[in-house]
Amino acid sequence: MNKDPRHVAREKEKARALRKTRWWKNLLAEGICHYCGQKFPPEELTMDHIVPISRGGKSTKGNVVVCCKK
């Protein structure tokens, strides 16, 4: 586990920047939850790290998915 506060802060900042990209906005517009496969309006979706930041995960396109808040 990587509980280094600098790593966590850096990756959270990267996640905030990633949320502003056209790539992320397109995923939200599609509205499909990565886990349950159901369609949701964008406001009911969130970003999830497949490998959590606390376990050394990165805020990259290959490690984040759109998922419902349920």
Grade residue 64 by pLDDT with cuts at 50, 70 and 90. very high
Tally the domains of the chain.
Answer: 1
Amino acid 26: pLDDT: 97
* pTM for the model: 0.87
Among 5, 70, 66, which residue's Cα sits nearest to residue 33?
66
Q: What CATH number did the domain enclosing 18 receive?
A: 1.10.30.50
Tens-place pLDDT, residues 5-58: 999 999 999 999 999 999 999 999 999 999 999 999 999 999 999 999 989 999
Domain carrying residue 64 = 5-68
Which pLDDT score is estimated for 2? 62
Q: Which residues have a Cβ under 8 Å from the Cβ of 8 and sit 6 or more positions away? A: 2, 53, 54
